[in-house]
Amino acid sequence: MEKNTGLIKSKVKSSMIQLVIAVCGVFVAVFGLSMFNQHLLMSFPLPLRMVLMIFTQWLLFLVPAILMIVNKEKLSSIGFKKEKILSQIGIGVLLALEELKAIAEVMDVKFEQAFILPDGNEIKAGNE
């Protein structure tokens, strides 16, 4: 019984340490991201800036992702399931499009995306 209690306490302590590391890592990433956005982002050309803004947001997941790899955890343990994968991808694409539209609106530029059909007609999605 004492062996089980010691094992549980050890796992709880390990989990708490990993949680503190993950939270501190995210705060460091947020600080680095805000410094990058303040001091370096505006030196890049506009199209590259738009891509960098989206890409750098993924840096917030870097430390938790490293901890997941170290612990040999799977994506399913944080909510990614094999069922309904197409709806998960669709939601991600829609969120990305909405983010691009918001970026274009803030930058006061026009954002367009279109499907060009075989007959030449276009189906557009944009921020206007």
Mean pLDDT in order along the chain per 10 residues (128 residues)? 74 85 86 88 85 82 83 78 79 82 83 79 66
Q: What is the pLDDT of residue 128?
A: 54
pLDDT of res. 92: 82
Residue 22: name the closest of 55, 68, 86 by CA. Answer: 68
Domain enclosing residue 67, as ranges: 1-76
Both 72 and 85 in a single domain?
Answer: no
Please check whether residues 91 and 116 belong to one and the same domain.
Answer: yes
Same domain membership, residue 104 and residue 54: no
Q: Is 120 left (phi over 0), alpha (psi -120 to 50) or beta?
A: left
Predicted local confidence at residue 100, as pLDDT: 82
What is the domain count for the chain?
Answer: 2
pLDDT at 70: 85
